[in-house]
Structure 1
Amino acid sequence: MNRRRVTPLVLVLLLLVIGMSWVWLWPRIFPPAGSMQDSMTNMPGMPMPEPRPGQRSEDGATSPMPQSSAPSSEHPGVVTIPLERLQMIGVKYEPVARRRLEKTIRTVGRVAVDERRLAKVTIKFHGWIEELYVSALGDHVKKGQRLFTIYSPDLVASQEEYLLAVRGQKQLGSSEFPEVAQGSKDLLEAAKRRFQLWDITEDHIRELEQTGKVLKTLPIHSPITGTVIKKEALAGAHVEPGEELYTIADLSHVWILADIYEYELSFVKKDQKAAVTLSYDPSAILTGRVGFIYPTLDPKTRTAKVRFELDNLDEKLKPDMYANVELRVDLGTRLAIPQEAVIESGRKHVVFLHHGGGKLEPRLIKTGVKTGEWSEVLEGLKEGEHIVTSANFLIDSESRLKSAVESMGGMPGMK
């Protein structure tokens, strides 16, 4: 069998035909991404794609830009948040208004004895206690009541001298010699003055004059009506001049000493009324008043003592007992907003104004007095402006507002 030899020219032509075929088939087998999407969209039944933001569509219209929370060029600093988002967060608004503010100061005080109703029983001569009439701590005594009797050699000698002076006055008081009559009178007055200096009452002196008998012991009486809160007197004990034997306090009127912080002292005035309650009986409310503001400050606690005075007729309040004190101060009518609406960032105080349509504007303000739920506004807001009262939740939820607050450099006229 004869084989025909293939010439080189035939091989070249064959390769050219195969290459041209691949050039024609390659784009149809592996089309580009853009052309594939265009071919798919141009297929019957496929929806037309929406143009990208800012891109013109086939009909010549420009697609709108999506809504964002970027600051508006018309109102610098204003941030727009979709209303649905605000409703989901639970943002609340409230108008700025003038309100009557009342500041409440609460503290704990200690019940103390009224020092003006306190008496200490001492004697001015030495002696021995014979008999005790008030022998227990806490006994209630009345003014002039006998406390104890005392024997003193000096007291006995003074009684004898006084009786001699009384007899001398009777004998020599009508003497024809003026010097003698005057001398007997001066001697009687000197003996009587010694009794007075020793706190011997007038009725005992009169009794001594009438009976003419020297008493071995003399009674010592209570100087005030009150309760015995300290007792050192014992039957048969020897006592020296100036030794404190009894301490008697009138507890029908007491003090409460309370600590008030330095920043609250300006609100406390003399004669202000205060409500006093006890921890074991909160239902009982007593009324006191500010009696004195002490002039010194404790450097460690930064507090000053304030004395509250109140009646204690049933003696429910006892010395060294703790009591709760509440002082309400009327501050008058002032421009105020809820404290929860204020965001404190260092020395800055920021609130968010609501302009409607989800537009919020951060505003720097200057605050004044703070009460329980209100904060006074000194600068930055006007009456009638609407503010966000749940701004803290808004800041936590919308981090985009944080950058707006941090970018605020300040307000004209505010520091």
Structure 2
Amino acid sequence: MQPPKRFFLIALLSLALVLTGGTWYALQCATQMGWGPFTGPQHAHAEQKYTCGMHPMIITDEPGTCPICGMDLTPLKTGTAGAGAAGKPKGERKIKYWVAPMDPTYIRDEPGKSPMGMDLVPVYEDEAAGGSVISIDPVVQQNMGVRTAPVELRDLHRTIRTVGLVAYDEPQQFSINAKIDGWIERLHVDQTGQVVKKGHPLLELYSPKLVSAQEEYLLALRNRNQLKNSSFSKIAEGGESLLEASRKRLKYWDISDRQIRDLERTGEVKKTLTLYSPFEGIVKRKMAYEGQYVKSGQELFQLADISEVWVYADIYEYELPWIKVGQKASVSLPYVDGEDLEAQITYIYPYVEPKTRTVKARLEFENSDFELKPDMYVNVRINGQEVKNALTVPVESVIHSGEKKTVFVALGDGRFEPRHVRTGLQNKEGYIEIKQGLLEGERIVTSAQFMFDSESKLREAIQKMMTPQEGYPSAQDARDAPAEEMDEQTEEENLEDLF
């Protein structure tokens, strides 16, 4: 072939390629601008979509069966798949509530200031918190079993039933000790549990020191009698002082006044002296035996007055907000079908028992008939503190996800908004107090909200991937930039932020 013909064919082929590429480029530009290649401006007519009632994330262009569960796909209403809030003209937008800029749970139905002093920001009905409003087709809602309940005011009350342990009244427990060395010659109180009155004889003690003290007292008594008529007043006073010192010595060793008077009257030194009980109660513990040698300071008896007893009620940590000092309580014996014993909480201990993880609440009772016995278990019922006009929702509507608590608010027309809330007390009827995050009259989802939560998080992740973040290149910039100019470190950080 001659060279001119070859050049002519190459030029012809080049022209054809240029015309074809230009036509393709024009069609692409027209498509991006909203123009079809032949029909002019395209109108956004959504095609019919199909979804699974049990797996709403499955969306197809034609009918069939769900690849997960095998159920028949149902038609999806136009605008419900991946749609956000319906756009409205700005003149028709209506403010739903006002929210604090730094605390999304602090909402009010009128403008004002947040706890941090910042102006509240309006939230419109067609807006989503963080763009996470989701739309669910009515057919899908029915298949999911979505139920809602109103946010309403009610009085919260809780009756706490727990177990109690009867214990001794701590200020009414006593210890009796020997104050001098000696031998126990005889025991008058020789049984544990024996009732002891104040002044009741406990034991007879022989001690050489007590014998010497009696002799010294008699000597001081005779000396005083001889010197009391002395013409020298100081000598008479000295005799009286010596007698008083001997008397105090005997009293300090728990020798009674009656025994000292008998010693003065008879003038005879006794081998043993009787020790009397300075307290009233029952013998809780006995460590004294006849013939035993005891030393000064050794404990002989433990007495406890059980005419008044304490009851320790175990309160779990989550029940503490319902309990306060002064509240009424009742105690019933498990083996007696009779009237309950009424009392009130006198003290709440400021620590938690490490084994039971409970806090002790103390009740005090009169026990003159000894019906309540120490270490006995009883049933305790406490009427908890009532909370008036609390904003409440069903407890099953709150999703606990780590540090946050979320509910889904029904906005109508199949739209649902996730809302972070702060909760308070919870009663046994299944309602929980909402301190921040909801308004009275709103409706919240009480079932299938976990599927809502998954859909909301999926939408949020997709939005993060579609929206370029500050400091990162957009998708168009990434396509236009050469591959060698992309920063690998930036891509890794971007992926970490997304997930």
Where do 1:166-315 residues align within 5 Å? Answer: 166-257=221-312, 269-276=324-331, 285-294=340-349, 307-315=362-370
The answer to whether the 8 A contact 2:321-2:425 is kept is: no
Tell me how far apart the structure 1 counterparts of residues 161 and 459 of structure 2 sit (CA, whole Å).
39
CA 346–407 in structure 1, closer or farther in 2 if over 3 Å, else same: farther
Q: Which has the larger radius of gyration?
A: 1
Where do 1:333-348 residues align within 5 Å? Answer: 333-348=389-404
1:191, CA displacement in angstroms? 0.9
Alignment-derived partner of residue 47 in structure 1? none
Where do 1:318-333 residues align within 5 Å? Answer: 318-323=373-378, 325=380, 327=382, 328-333=384-389
CA 346–274 in structure 1, closer or farther in 2 if over 3 Å, else same: same
Compare 278-287 and 190-199 and name the one that shifted more: 278-287
Secondary structure of 1:163's aligned partner: helix
Secondary structure of 1:381's aligned partner: coil
Tell me how far apart the structure 1 counterparts of residues 337 and 391 of structure 2 sit (CA, whole Å).
34
1:217, CA displacement in angstroms? 2.1
CA 265–94 in structure 1, closer or farther in 2 if over 3 Å, else same: closer
Alignment-derived partner of residue 73 in structure 1? 85
Compare 69-78 and 144-153 and name the one that shifted more: 69-78
Secondary structure of 2:385's aligned partner: strand
Are 1:369 and 2:369 counterparts? Answer: no
Q: Which has the higher contact order (CA 8 A, sep 6+)?
A: 1
1:266, CA displacement in angstroms? 6.5
Q: What TM-score results when the alignment is normalised by the length of structure 2? A: 0.59
Cα RMSD between the aligned structures?
Answer: 3.6
CA displacement 1:42-69 (0-9 Å, x = unmatched): xxxxxxxxxx9869xxxxxxxxx85265
Tell me how far apart the structure 1 counterparts of residues 460 and 270 of structure 2 sit (CA, whole Å).
94
Tell me how far apart the structure 2 counterparts of residues 400 and 303 of structure 1 sit (CA, whole Å).
37
Alignment-derived partner of residue 436 in structure 2? 379
CA 124–66 in structure 1, closer or farther in 2 if over 3 Å, else same: closer
Alignment-derived partner of residue 351 in structure 1? 407
Alignment-derived partner of residue 183 in structure 2? 128
Tell me how far apart the structure 2 counterparts of residues 385 and 319 of structure 1 sit (CA, whole Å).
53
The answer to whether the 8 A contact 1:259-1:306 is kept is: yes
Tell me how far apart the structure 1 counterparts of residues 431 and 171 of structure 2 sit (CA, whole Å).
41
Secondary structure of 2:245's aligned partner: helix
Alignment-derived partner of residue 487 in structure 2? none
Secondary structure of 2:259's aligned partner: helix
CA 145–356 in structure 1, closer or farther in 2 if over 3 Å, else same: same
1:232, CA displacement in angstroms? 0.9
Tell me how far apart the structure 2 counterparts of residues 194 and 263 of structure 1 sit (CA, whole Å).
58
CA 266–201 in structure 1, closer or farther in 2 if over 3 Å, else same: farther
Alignment-derived partner of residue 407 in structure 1? 459
1:275, CA displacement in angstroms? 4.2
Compare 334-343 and 65-74 and name the one that shifted more: 65-74
Tell me how far apart the structure 1 counterparts of residues 326 and 400 of structure 2 sit (CA, whole Å).
36
Alignment-derived partner of residue 212 in structure 2? 157
Tell me how far apart the structure 1 counterparts of residues 403 and 158 of structure 2 sit (CA, whole Å).
23
Compare 297-306 and 147-156 and name the one that shifted more: 297-306
1:367, CA displacement in angstroms? 2.0
1:357, CA displacement in angstroms? 6.0
1:176, CA displacement in angstroms? 1.2
CA 376–289 in structure 1, closer or farther in 2 if over 3 Å, else same: same
1:302, CA displacement in angstroms? 6.8
Compare 204-213 and 303-312 and name the one that shifted more: 303-312
Tell me how far apart the structure 1 counterparts of residues 250 and 342 of structure 2 sit (CA, whole Å).
45
Tell me how far apart the structure 1 counterparts of residues 453 and 348 of structure 2 sit (CA, whole Å).
47
Are 1:146 and 2:156 counterparts? Answer: no
CA displacement 1:191-234 (0-9 Å, x = unmatched): 11112211222222223323333333222222222111100111
1:311, CA displacement in angstroms? 3.4
Q: Which runs of 5+ in 1 are unaligned?
A: 1-51, 56-64, 410-415
Q: Which runs of 5+ in 2 are unaligned?
A: 1-44, 49-74, 87-125, 462-499
CA 166–267 in structure 1, closer or farther in 2 if over 3 Å, else same: farther
Give the number of equivalent residue pairs. 343
Tell me how far apart the structure 1 counterparts of residues 278 and 139 of structure 2 sit (CA, whole Å).
79
1:404, CA displacement in angstroms? 2.7
Tell me how far apart the structure 2 counterparts of residues 295 and 266 of structure 1 sit (CA, whole Å).
14
Tell me how far apart the structure 1 counterparts of residues 159 and 458 of structure 2 sit (CA, whole Å).
34
CA 248–290 in structure 1, closer or farther in 2 if over 3 Å, else same: same
Alignment-derived partner of residue 117 in structure 1? 172
CA 131–252 in structure 1, closer or farther in 2 if over 3 Å, else same: same
Tell me how far apart the structure 2 counterparts of residues 81 and 278 of structure 1 sit (CA, whole Å).
58
CA 407–201 in structure 1, closer or farther in 2 if over 3 Å, else same: farther
Tell me how far apart the structure 1 counterparts of residues 176 and 452 of structure 2 sit (CA, whole Å).
77
Tell me how far apart the structure 2 counterparts of residues 313 and 94 of structure 1 sit (CA, whole Å).
54
